[in-house]
Chains A and B, each alone.
Chain A
Amino acid sequence: MIRRHPILSLFAVLLLVLLGWVWHERVNLQAFPDIIAAYTAKEYCSCRYVANNPAQYCRGYVKQYVPTSAFRDNPERSEVTASGLGRTHSARWLGERQGCRLLP
Chain B
Amino acid sequence: MVRGLLCVALLLVTAAAHAETWPGKEWARGEPLAGPAVEALEAYAFPARDDATRQGVRTDALLVIRDGQIVYERYAAPTSASTPHLTWSISKSLMATVLGVAYGQNRFKLSDPAARFYPPMKQHPKVTLADLLHWASGLDWQEDYEYAPLKSSVVAMLYTRGHGDMAEFAAETDAAVAPGKAFRYSSGDSNILSAALRGMLGHKAYMSYPWDALFEPLGIRSATWETDADETFVASSYAYLTARDLARVGLLMAREGRWGDEQLLPKDWVAFNRKPFDGYKAGQDEAVPGGQWWLNQGTPRPWPDAPADTFAALGHWGQALFVLPDAHLVIVRYGDDRDGTYGHNELLKRVLAAVQP
A interface residues with partner B (beta carbon < 8 Å): 25, 27-29, 31-32, 34-35, 38-39, 42, 46-47, 50-54, 57, 60-61, 96-102, 104
Contact B226 A46 (CB under 8 A): yes
B86 near A46: Cβ-Cβ < 8 Å: yes
Instruction: Answer yes or no: B78 CB below 8 A from chain A CBs.
Output: yes
- Complex Cα spacing A53 to B159, Å: 22
Tell which of A32, A50, A53, A96 touches B149, judged by Cβ atoms closer than 8 Å: A32
Who on chain A is nearest to B161 by CB? A31
Q: Can you name 11 A-B residue pairings with CB atoms under 8 Å?
A: A25-B151, A31-B156, A42-B158, A50-B240, A51-B85, A52-B83, A53-B83, A98-B224, A98-B226, A99-B226, A104-B229
Name the 4 nearest CB pairs between A and B, nearest first: A31-B160, A38-B159, A99-B226, A99-B224
- Could you say which residues of chain B place their CB within 8 Å of the CB of A31? 156, 160-161
State the Cβ distance, B59 to closest chain A Cβ, in Å. Answer: 15
Describe B's contact surface by its main secondary structure: loop
Q: Is the CB of A53 within 8 A of B78?
A: yes
Cα A102 to Cα B228 with chains together (Å): 8
CB nearest neighbor in B for A98: B227
Which residue from chain B places its CB closest to the CB of A28 in the assembled complex? Answer: B150
Q: Does B144 lie at the interface of the complex (its beta carbon under 8 Å from any beta carbon of A)?
A: no
Q: A60-B51, A61-B336, A99-B240 are in contact. Are A51 and B160 (CB under 8 A)?
A: no
**Contacts A53-B83, A102-B159, A104-B164 hold; do A32 and B240 have CB atoms under 8 A apart?**
no
Which residues from B are CB-within-8-Å of A99? 224-226, 238, 240
Indicate which residue in A29, A50, A60, A98 contacts B84 across the interface (CB closer than 8 Å). A50
Contacts A53-B78, A61-B336, A99-B240 hold; do A42 and B159 have CB atoms under 8 A apart? yes
Residues of A within 8 A of B161 (CB): 27, 31
Which A residues are in CB contact (< 8 Å) with B265?
none
Q: Closest residue of chain A to B233, judged by CB?
A: A98
**What residues of chain B lie closer than 8 Å to A96, measured between beta carbons?**
224
- Taking the closest CB of chain A, its distance from the CB of B262, in whole angstroms, is 23
- Chain B residues near A51 (CB, 8 Å)? 79, 83-86, 240
**Inter-subunit contact A101/B228 (CB<8 Å):** yes
Q: How far is the CA of A27 from the CA of B151 in the complex (A)?
A: 10
- Residues on A with beta carbons closer than 8 Å to the beta carbon of B163: 38, 102
A66 to chain B, nearest CB (A): 9
Instruction: Find A57's partner among B78, B84, B238 (CB 8 Å cutoff).
Output: B78
Please name all residues of chain A whose beta carbon is closer than 8 Å to the beta carbon of B272 when the two chains form the complex. none
Q: Which of A47, A61, A98, A104 has the most CB of B within 10 A?
A: A98
Q: How far is the CB of B333 from chain A (nearest CB, A)?
A: 16
Q: How far does the alpha carbon of A32 sit from the alpha carbon of B84 in the complex, in Å? A: 30
